[in-house]
């Protein structure tokens, strides 16, 4: 099969460009945004447990909302 599920930490290798599901923390997504401002290699983002509000999750929600208008896909 061409898909897999990946759980990552900040220092691990990122998954394949196609057919991967990446479970990671808010902090890892924010780190990823530093090098890929449009999250161009990501097709879907699921913000799980986002009701547990804190500054990083609020920043991530704002960035994802902005990405909705910046990306055509």
Contact 13, 7 (CB under 8 A): no
- Report the number of distinct structural domains present in the chain: 1
3-state secondary structure of 34: helix
**What pLDDT was estimated at residue 41?**
80
pLDDT value of position 60: 92
Domain span at residue 37 reads 4-70
Taking the alpha carbons at both ends of the chain, their separation in whole angstroms is 25
- Indicate the Cα dihedral angle 61, 64, 66, 71, nearest 10°: -170
Sorting pLDDT into bands at 50, 70 and 90, what band is 63?
Answer: very high
Q: What is the pLDDT of residue 10?
A: 46
Give tens-digit pLDDT for 23-60: 888 888 899 899 999 988 888 888 888 888 899 999 99
Checking if the pLDDT of 9 tops 60, the result is: no
């Amino acid at each position: 099969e061409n898909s897999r599920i990946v759980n990552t930490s900040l220092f691990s290798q990122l998954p394949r460009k196609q057919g991967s599901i990446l479970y990671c923390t808010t902090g890892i997504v924010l780190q990823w945004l530093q090098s890929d401002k449009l999250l161009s290699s990501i097709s879907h983002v699921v913000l799980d447990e986002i009701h547990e509000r804190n500054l990083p999750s609020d920043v991530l929600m704002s960035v994802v909302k902005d990405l909705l208008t910046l990306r055509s896909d």
